Amino acid sequence: MPRGQAIEPPHQPALIFSPEGNVTYSTISVGIDLGTTNSSVAVNNNGTIEIVKKPGGLEYTPSVFGFDKAKNKVVGQRAYESLYSDKSETGVKNFRPEVKRIMGTPEKFYFERTGVEMSAEEISSEILKSLVQDILRKYQKFDTTAAVITIPAAFSILQCEATKRAGNLAGFKHVVLLQGNCSRSRHAASVKGFPARVRRMASRAPMARRRAVSITERMSA
């Protein structure tokens, strides 16, 4: 896998690809953990940090994408169930998990049902679109033009750029990347200035939604 020069992890999560134009940190209200296994989104709704739930109540989206028998795009739990409940090769050939592992590489995945080839960033953009739809389902007029998206501290420049492109493909005009293991170490959630309520939420939350809460609160601090 092409790596390029790895970015050294700082003492606290670093911002890569800072806001541009009239966009500032304080105007970004969407925080996303685009995870290898699961993804989650949090919003800053008038000062209140909130995890946006799926229609069934889940606070995360399995990072799985594919096409169903009708050749419709499927993301999240339905895609996950289709992939892992299908004992034949059909599921493997039509659903793709863990694309973050090949982010920034030229590798593409072929979906047999549609005859379509997609890169990791294109598949990731479909997962991001699903998270945006969750926001707009609850808050129809919410500003989703900009977002902060987490990346591993070890991501190369190529992987960072691919993640940013995935965000752009999903419809975000401005993408800020947040680097670091902010949930595993709970570091981002304990940065000075984070309210105790958010720290308590972070300590109880699974990795994906904990990151989403942390980065959204960080932008509002």
Residues 78 and 113 in one domain: yes
| Half-sphere exposure of residue 155: CA atoms within 13 angstroms, side-chain side | 30
What is the C-alpha to C-alpha distance for residues 31 and 141, in angstroms, rounded to an integer? 17
Residues 183 and 96 in one domain: no
Q: What tokens appear for 215 in the block?
A: 């980065």
Look at the chain and report how many structural domains it folds into. Answer: 2
Per-residue confidence band for 193, with pLDDT thresholds at 50, 70 and 90: very low
Q: Report pTM.
A: 0.74
Residues 199 and 90 in one domain: no
Q: Would you state the pLDDT for residue 198? A: 34
Q: Would you state the pLDDT for residue 203? A: 39
Q: Would you state the pLDDT for residue 213? A: 53
Residues 130 and 197 in one domain: yes
Identify whether 130 is part of a domain.
yes
Identify whether 9 is part of a domain.
no
Sheet with 73-75, edge to edge strand ranges: 73-75, 64-67, 95-97
Residues 31 and 93 in one domain: no
Asked whether the predicted pLDDT for residue 187 surpasses 60, the reply is: no
Q: How far is CA 90 from CA 69, 84, 101, 112, 153, in A?
A: 10, 11, 22, 8, 35
Residues 31 and 91 in one domain: no
Q: Would you state the pLDDT for residue 133? A: 94
Identify whether 2 is part of a domain.
no
Q: Would you state the pLDDT for residue 7? A: 40
Residues 202 and 135 in one domain: yes
Residues 134 and 157 in one domain: yes
Phi, psi of 135 (to 5 degrees): -65, -50
CATH number at residue 127: 3.30.420.40
Asked whether the predicted pLDDT for residue 179 surpasses 60, the reply is: yes
pLDDT higher for 183 or 111?
111
Asked whether the predicted pLDDT for residue 2 surpasses 50, the reply is: no
Q: Is residue 208 within 8 Å of residue 39, measured between CB atoms?
A: yes
Q: What tokens appear for 39 in the block?
A: 């993804």
Q: Would you state the pLDDT for residue 87? A: 61
Per-residue confidence band for 85, with pLDDT thresholds at 50, 70 and 90: confident
Q: For residue 112, what are the domain limits? A: 62-120
pLDDT higher for 180 or 69?
69
Residues 108 and 168 in one domain: no
Average pLDDT over residues 158-185: 82
Residues 192 and 171 in one domain: yes
Among the three residues 120, 138, 168, which one is the final residue of a domain in this structure? Answer: 120
What are the pLDDT digits (tens) for 3-57?
444 443 333 444 555 555 555 556 688 989 999 999 999 988 888 888 998 888 8
